[in-house]
Amino acid sequence: MQIKSIIGLMVSCSLFLAGCDDSTDSIADAVIDTVETEVEDVIDNIVAVDPSLFALNSLESIEMVDCTLSNGDASTCYSVTVNGFPADRNELGPFCPESTETTAEDAGKWFDGGVLYDLTGSFVSNLSVFYGDSKWQLYDKDTGLVNITDTQLACEAAVRPDVAAEYNNFCVQCDISYYNEAAGEGVSSTYLIPVTPVLRDTPEDIEHTDVGVAFNGVNLAAAAPTQAILSAYTIAAFDDCIGHVNPVAGYHYHGANHGDGTCPAIDYENDGHGGAFAYAMDGFAIHSMLNQSGEEETDLDECRGHSDDNRGYHYHAAGAGENTFIGCFAGEVAR
Ligand SMILES: [Zn+2]
Ligand SMILES: [Zn+2]
C-alpha cells in the first residue's frame, strides 16, 4: 500500500499549497517509482491504473476510496479530481469562423458521417447544400458575418435541448471564462476509476455517460447529440482538438485528433505502439488510433480493445470524426 501513502502526500499537498512547490517534482518521482515497482507484471491481461500518468498541473486531488463496481462487487477506486483545463495548452479555440471568408487556421472543426471537417467560412456558406436543406443560413447575406453565440446568455440558450427559435441558424460557442474565475482553469470534475480494472463477461454500451478522462485533465464525453444540434440549425463548433465548452462539463472532447494535431498529446511507445492519452471509466487505458507508422491495429474487439504482454487489455481511439472514442466498456465501471 505504498501508493496510498504517496497519494495521501499529494492530496495533503494540494490541500495545503504553501510550501508545496519545492516538493512537487519529488512527489511526482515518488509516485512514478512506486507505480513502476508495483505494476511490473501484467496479470491476466490486467494492468492497474497508473496515477502518475495524469499531468500534475491538471490535478486538484487524487485519492484511493472504497467503491462499488457495476457488477456489485466492493472494490477500490481512484477518486481523481481534475481542474478541467487541458494541461498541455494555454488557450482554447478557435471554434466558430467569424465570417464566410475565415480560413481553417482561424476556425475550428465540425464532424459528420465519420469525417472531420474544417469549419471554415466556405464550409458554413455551403451548409444548405451539404445538408440538402435550404433553411440553413448561418451567416448574414449582406456582411458575410457568421451568427455566433457570443454571450453567456446566447450560448446557454443555444445548447439547451429545446433551442429557442431565435437561436436557430447560429454557430454555437461558449467561452470557458463564463464558468471559472481565473484564466487557465476549467470546470473541475471528479472521476471514480477502478484501481485494478475488472473485465466484464459481456461489454456494456456507452450511452450518456462519460467515457473517461484524459491525462491532461479533460473530460472524454459521450457522443455529441448531433441530430438535435442539426435539427435546430445549429453547429456546436469544436476546436481543432475536437473539444468545446458547455455549462455543465466545461471544456470536453468528442474525439481524439492525433492526425493533424497532437491532442491530447501522446508519446508513441518504445516499440512504436500507439501512445496512451486517457483512462476510460473502467480503468483501461485509451491509446491513439494509429501506431507510429500510421497503421491501425488489426485485432481490435467491438469495444476497440485488445491485449498484449506489455500493456495488458487496452483500447485504441476511434477516428477523429467518428463522434466516439471506444465502442463499449469491456470492464466494470464504478457505480
Ligand atoms: Zn459537447
Ligand atoms: Zn494496442
Q: Which ligand is nearest to the CA of 253?
A: 1
- Residues facing residue 274 across a β-bridge: none
Phi, psi for residue 285 in degrees, rounded to 5: -75, 150
Quote the pTM value. 0.87
- pLDDT higher than 90, residue 132: yes
Rounded Cα distance between 38 and 140, Å, is 61
**Which three-class secondary structure string do you get for 41-78?**
CCECCECCCCHHHCCHHHEEEEEEEEEEECCCCEEEEE
Cα 214 to averaged position of ligand 2 atoms, centre (Å): 17
Per residue in 264-308, pLDDT (tens digit) is 989 999 999 999 999 999 999 999 999 999 999 999 999 999 999
Q: Which ligand is nearest to the CA of 251?
A: 1
Which residues, including other chains, have CB under 8 Å from residue 326's CB and lie 6 or more apart? Answer: 206, 211, 280, 286, 303, 304, 305, 315, 317, 318
Q: What is the mean pLDDT of residues 249-257?
A: 96
pLDDT (0 to 100) of residue 164: 85
The amino acid at 226: T
Packed helices 2-15 and 24-38: angle between N→C axes, nearest 10 degrees: 160
Q: Which of 32-41, 195-204, 207-216, 266-275 has the lowest mean pLDDT?
A: 32-41
pLDDT band at 116 (very low <50, low <70, confident <90, very high): very high
Cα 79 to averaged position of ligand 2 atoms, centre (Å): 26
Average pLDDT over the chain, rounded to an integer: 88
Q: What is the mean pLDDT of residues 225-244?
A: 96
Rounded Cα distance between 154 and 41, Å, is 52
Q: Which of 99-103, 118-122, 176-180, 325-329 has the lowest mean pLDDT?
A: 176-180
What is the DSSP annotation of 237-270? -B-TTSEEEETTTEEEESS-B-SSS-BS-----T
Per residue in 6-20, pLDDT (tens digit) is 343 343 333 333 333
Q: Which residue has the higher pLDDT, 314 or 33?
A: 314
Cα 237 to averaged position of ligand 1 atoms, centre (Å): 9
- pLDDT higher than 50, residue 21: no
Q: Which residue has the higher pLDDT, 221 or 165?
A: 221
Cα 253 to averaged position of ligand 1 atoms, centre (Å): 7
Cα 247 to averaged position of ligand 1 atoms, centre (Å): 10
Phi, psi for residue 90 in degrees, rounded to 5: -100, -30
- pLDDT higher than 60, residue 3: no
pLDDT (0 to 100) of residue 208: 84
Domain ranges of the chain: 104-180+226-244
Phi, psi for residue 23 in degrees, rounded to 5: -95, 0
pLDDT band at 160 (very low <50, low <70, confident <90, very high): confident
Phi, psi for residue 30 in degrees, rounded to 5: -65, -40
Q: What is the mean pLDDT of residues 308-330?
A: 96
Q: Which ligand is nearest to the CA of 308?
A: 2
pLDDT (0 to 100) of residue 172: 97
Cα 4 to averaged position of ligand 1 atoms, centre (Å): 34
Per residue in 35-74, pLDDT (tens digit) is 444 444 566 789 999 999 999 999 999 999 999 999 999 9
Cα 327 to averaged position of ligand 2 atoms, centre (Å): 15
**For the range 64-67, what are the long-range contacts, defined as Cβ-Cβ under 8 Å and sequence gap of 24 or more?**
64/3, 64/4, 64/7, 64/195, 65/192, 67/192, 67/194, 67/334, 67/335
Cα 40 to averaged position of ligand 1 atoms, centre (Å): 37
Per residue in 144-155, pLDDT (tens digit) is 999 999 999 999
- pLDDT higher than 70, residue 5: no
pLDDT (0 to 100) of residue 207: 82
End-to-end CA distance of the chain: 24
